[in-house]
């Protein structure tokens, strides 16, 4: 790809940020607060808009319901547009209501299953009031002990509940089903892997897609293989980008394993899936437990941009020739040559050509926004993940 095409692709890249990244978060041991943390969805969107202001690559904010429910959702969406961003994916939440202790869509109690379906239909209403097109479903459902419930019956209940939700989709809407290999339950998870998500999506229809959260795999999993497979099947709806050292750590994407992020973006670029028309949503799903939230999000965007730039620099023709020729070392060297390239000057140049500061971290720090919100946002209840 010639360098102008690389720069055009980088200039057009859009990464969706999660509203919950701007609220307080932590672990089951402690949720740390910090000065200036938003107290409501409007302030979360104001902070997310800063990330887009300085990176030029974060034009959408994903909401989480009920955390981000407000009386006037249309006003929230307009507020976002006034700040230069839009509402993105709507995330359901069936992991914080006591009724879901033994499952939501998979619960043995039909009344609780109906309640979980109703919550997702409410999320569809939120999508329509905010101009969103994607409903993201992550089910915490699972069991802790062998014999606790029927593994098969839970799959059947899951299929029925998803079918009810899917039937309510409008033609331009999508149901994105996210998998996670464990947590909050530890014996079985009802959507534990990409295969289970894919099976249910195939059964539902063309508007059902898989969400690949990079922190949701067993250690050592080859994630880029899953990316390639789902792209071949046109069923990769979205990434939830983050980093992990041990489990679903929700750390800054690229911070733990930038080489893995590059290999993931290489599969995306090779499949032409960087093109927004392909429909893959590049979203962050992170929590900034100990670092400042807005800079943490800016760094995350920069890490994805740099991995993407490296992937765009892979000499695809030479790589294909080497692969066909069975030139193992030559093919590997072509990939590693791109990965070894310091793309920071290139990405900085793209920012400058967009009229942005080449160093968004420095520009944000110098803007005084952090000091302003710390001074203004006094009182009220800081947003958290409601655990």
Which residue of 43, 68, 190, 285 would you call a contact of ligand AFD, by CB under 6 A? Answer: 285
For ligand AFD, give the closer residue by CB, 58 or 251.
Answer: 251
Q: Find tokens 């929590």 and name the residue.
A: 287
Vertex 184: Cα angle to 178 and 185 (nearest 5)? 100
Vertex 125: Cα angle to 120 and 129 (nearest 5)? 145
CB 351 within 8 A of CB 358: yes
CB 213 within 8 A of CB 180: yes
Q: How many residues of this chain bind ligand AFD (CB under 6 A)?
A: 10
Measure the CA–CA gap between 52 and 222, rounded to whole angstroms: 31
Shortest CB 158 distance to Mn ion, Å: 18
Which residue of 134, 149, 190, 240 would you call a contact of ligand AFD, by CB under 6 A? Answer: 240
Nearest CA among 311, 287, 290 for reference residue 300: 287
Q: For the CA atoms of 308, 319, 244, 209, what is the dihedral angle to 10 degrees?
A: 70
100 contacts which partner out of ligand AFD, Mn ion, none, CB within 5 to 8 A by kind? none
Instruction: Tell me phi and psi for residue 47, to 5 degrees.
Output: -70, -40
Kindly state whether residue 213 participates in binding ligand AFD, applying the rule CB under 6 A.
Answer: yes
For ligand AFD, give the closer residue by CB, 139 or 198.
Answer: 139
Residues between 127 and 186 with contacts to ligand AFD, criterion CB under 6 A: 138, 178, 180
Sign of CA dihedral 155, 159, 160, 162: positive
All residues at 6 or more sequence positions from 68 whose CB lies less than 8 Å from its CB, including other chains? 19, 41, 44, 76
Instruction: Tell me phi and psi for residue 83, to 5 degrees.
Output: -95, 5
Kindly state whether residue 134 participates in binding Mn ion, applying the rule CB under 5 A.
Answer: no
DSSP code, position 43: H
180 contacts which partner out of Mn ion, ligand AFD, none, CB within 5 to 8 A by kind? ligand AFD
Beta carbons within 10 angstroms of residue 82's beta carbon = 10
Reduced to 3 states, what is the DSSP secondary structure of residue 19?
helix
Residue of closest CB approach to Mn ion: 240
DSSP code, position 20: G
Which residue of 24, 25, 91, 305 would you call a contact of ligand AFD, by CB under 6 A? Answer: 91
For ligand AFD, give the closer residue by CB, 238 or 312.
Answer: 238
Shortest CB 317 distance to ligand AFD, Å: 37
190 contacts which partner out of Mn ion, ligand AFD, none, CB within 5 to 8 A by kind? none
Reduced to 3 states, what is the DSSP secondary structure of residue 36?
coil
Q: Which residues pair with 136 in a beta bridge?
A: 91, 176
Shortest CB 138 distance to ligand AFD, Å: 4
CB 56 within 8 A of CB 351: yes
Which residue of 140, 285, 296, 299 would you call a contact of Mn ion, by CB under 5 A? Answer: 285
Shortest CB 218 distance to Mn ion, Å: 16
Binding segment toward Mn ion, per CB under 5 A, in 187-195, 235-243, 255-263, 289-297: 235-243
Binding segment toward Mn ion, per CB under 5 A, in 74-82, 225-233, 277-285, 294-302: 277-285
Kindly state whether residue 248 participates in binding ligand AFD, applying the rule CB under 6 A.
Answer: yes
91 contacts which partner out of Mn ion, ligand AFD, none, CB within 5 to 8 A by kind? ligand AFD
Which residue of 16, 190, 213, 267 would you call a contact of Mn ion, by CB under 5 A? Answer: 213
Q: Give the binding site for ligand AFD (CB under 6 A).
A: 64, 91, 138, 178, 180, 213, 240, 248, 250, 285
Q: Give the binding site for Mn ion (CB under 5 A).
A: 213, 240, 285
């Amino acid at each position: 790809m010639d360098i102008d095409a690389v720069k055009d692709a980088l200039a057009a890249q859009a990464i969706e940020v999660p509203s919950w990244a701007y609220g307080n978060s932590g672990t089951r041991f402690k949720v740390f607060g910090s000065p200036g943390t938003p107290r409501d969805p409007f302030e979360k969107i104001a902070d997310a808009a800063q990330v887009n202001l300085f990176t030029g690559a974060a034009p959408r904010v994903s909401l989480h319901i009920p955390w981000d429910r407000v009386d006037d959702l249309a006003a929230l969406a307009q507020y976002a547009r006034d700040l230069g961003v839009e509402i993105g994916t709507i995330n359901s939440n069936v992991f914080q209501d006591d009724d879901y202790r033994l499952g939501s869509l998979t619960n043995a109690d039909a009344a609780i299953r109906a309640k979980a379906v109703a919550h997702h239909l409410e999320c569809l209403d939120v999508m329509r009031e905010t101009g969103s097109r994607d409903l993201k479903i992550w089910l915490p459902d699972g069991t802790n002990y062998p014999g606790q419930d029927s593994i098969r019956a839970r799959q059947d209940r899951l299929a029925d509940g998803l079918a009810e939700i899917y039937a309510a989709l409008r033609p331009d809407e999508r149901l994105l089903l996210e998998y996670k290999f464990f947590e909050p339950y530890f014996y079985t998870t009802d959507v534990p892997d990409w295969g289970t998500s894919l099976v249910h999506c195939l059964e539902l229809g063309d508007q059902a897609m898989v969400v690949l959260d990079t922190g949701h795999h067993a250690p050592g999993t080859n994630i880029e293989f899953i990316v390639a497979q789902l792209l071949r099947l046109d069923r990769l709806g979205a990434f939830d980008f983050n980093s992990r050292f041990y489990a679903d750590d929700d750390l800054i994407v690229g911070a733990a394993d930038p080489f893995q992020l590059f290999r993931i973006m290489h599969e995306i670029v090779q499949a032409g899936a960087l093109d927004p028309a392909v429909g893959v949503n590049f979203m962050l799903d992170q929590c900034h437990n100990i670092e400042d939230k807005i800079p943490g999000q800016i760094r995350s965007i920069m890490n994805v941009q740099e991995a993407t730039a490296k992937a765009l620099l892979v000499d695809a023709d030479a790589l294909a020739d080497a692969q066909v020729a069975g030139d193992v070392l030559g093919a590997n060297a072509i990939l590693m040559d791109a990965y070894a390239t310091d793309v920071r000057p290139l990405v900085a140049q793209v920012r400058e050509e967009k009229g942005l500061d080449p160093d968004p971290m420095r520009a944000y720090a110098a803007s005084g926004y952090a000091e302003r919100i710390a001074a203004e946002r006094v009182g009220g209840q800081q947003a958290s993940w409601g655990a």
